[in-house]
Amino acid sequence: MAKLTKNQKLAAEKIEAGKLYTVAEAAALVKEITTTKFDASVDIDVRLGVDPRRGRNMERNVVSLPHGTGKNVKVLVIAKGDKEKEALEAGADLVGAEDMVAKIQNEGFMDFDVLITTPDMMGLVGRLGRVLGPRGLMPNPKAGTVTPNVAQAVKEAKAGKIEYRLDKANIIHVPVGKASFGTEKLSENINTVMEAIVKAKPAAAKGQYIRSAAIATTMGPGVKLNNAKFGG
C-alpha cells in the first residue's frame, strides 16, 4: 500500500469517521480536500446489491450529465457516405470505416473515448469485440452508440452522455465532473447519476439495492454518501 503524502493525510483527517454526507456536503468537501495541482476529476463509486454473474441483473446503462464530465470527449465514428459527413459536421474527432477498424485491430489504436457506428457497419465493428469489450468501448444499441442518427449520438457524447456498467465487484464507477465545477454543478451531476441507477433497478433485484456510495477526486480519499434519500 502506497504511503500517504502529508497533504493526503491532512485531507483524510477532514473527513469525519463513520459519517454519511449529503450530496451537497460531499461535493463541497471533495473540492476542499483536493490535493492535486491540476484540476482533479471527481468520480462516484456505487456498490449495488445485485448479482453481476446473472445476465438479467447486469447493470449497463447510459446517463446524460447536466454539466458534462469536464473532459474533452474524443469521439470516433465508424460509418460511410452521408453518415460520415454527418458525423464530422456534428463534431466527431475521427471518422472512418475499414481503415479505422484495421488501425484498431492491427496497430492497437485506442485514442478515443467513445465509438459510435451505424447498424450496417456492426458486421465490421463486431470484429473488434475482444479489443473494445474489456475497455467498455464496444458500441451497442441500448447505449445509443449503434444508431442511424450518428449526428445526434455525437452531440450527446460531447455534451456528457456516458455509459456505465456494473463490474465484477458489484460496483458502478462513473465520472461526475471536475473539482473546479463547484458544489452546485457537482451535486446536480451526482444526483442525476444516482437517480438513473435507481431508475434502472432490475426487477429481479432483491434486498437492499444500493449498498453504499462514495465520491472522490483523483488521488483523494473517498467521502461516503448518505444514500437513504435515493431509496433502493
pLDDT tens column, 138-148 = 998 988 999 99
* Sheet bearing 94-96, strands edge to edge: 94-96, 75-78, 114-117
Q: Is residue 112 part of a domain?
A: yes
DSSP letters, 122-177, are: HHHHGGGHHHHGGGT----GGGT-B-S-HHHHHHHHHHTEEEEEB-TTSEEEEEEE
| 55 pLDDT above the threshold of 90 | no
Residue 232: pLDDT above 70?
no
CATH number of the domain that 224 lies in?
A: 3.30.190.20
Average pLDDT, the chain: 87
Query: Is residue 27 located within the same domain as residue 91?
Result: no
pLDDT value of residue 138: 93
Residue with cell 444500493: 210
For residue 143, the model assigns a pLDDT of: 86
**Cell numbers of 54, please?**
446473472
Position 63 pLDDT exceeds 80: yes
User: Does 167 lie in the same domain as 64?
Assistant: yes
Q: Which of 159, 174, 209 is the last residue of a domain?
A: 159
103 neighbors 63 (Cβ within 8 angstroms): no
* Structural domain of 38: 17-68+162-230
Q: Is residue 10 part of a domain?
A: no
Q: What is the model's pTM?
A: 0.81
Q: Which of the two residues, 231 and 172, has the higher pLDDT score?
A: 172
pLDDT-wise least confident of 50-64, 122-136, 169-183: 50-64
pLDDT of 132 reads 93
Burial group, residue 61, by CB count within 10 angstroms (0-12, 13-18, 19+) = middle
Strand 94-96 to strand 75-78: parallel, antiparallel, or no bridges (unpaired)? parallel
Does residue 147 sit in the same domain as residue 167?
no
Strand partners for 212: 47
Number of domains in the chain: 2
Answer with the residue of higher pLDDT: 229 or 6: 229
Q: Which of 26-30, 164-168, 191-195, 202-206 has the lowest mean pLDDT?
A: 202-206
Predicted confidence band at 53 (pLDDT cuts at 50, 70, 90)? low
Write down which residue in 107, 129, 159 finishes a domain: 159
User: Is residue 133 domain-shared with residue 62, that is, in the same domain?
Assistant: no
Are 103 and 218 contained in the same domain?
no
Does the residue 41 lie in any domain? yes
Residue ending a domain, among 159, 189, 215, is: 159
User: Is pLDDT above 70 for 85?
Assistant: yes
Domain co-membership, 105 together with 214? no
Residues 121 and 61 in one domain: no
Percent of the chain with pLDDT over 90: 60
3-state secondary structure 197-217: HHHCCCCCCCCCCEEEEEEEE
At residue 216, the pLDDT reads 92
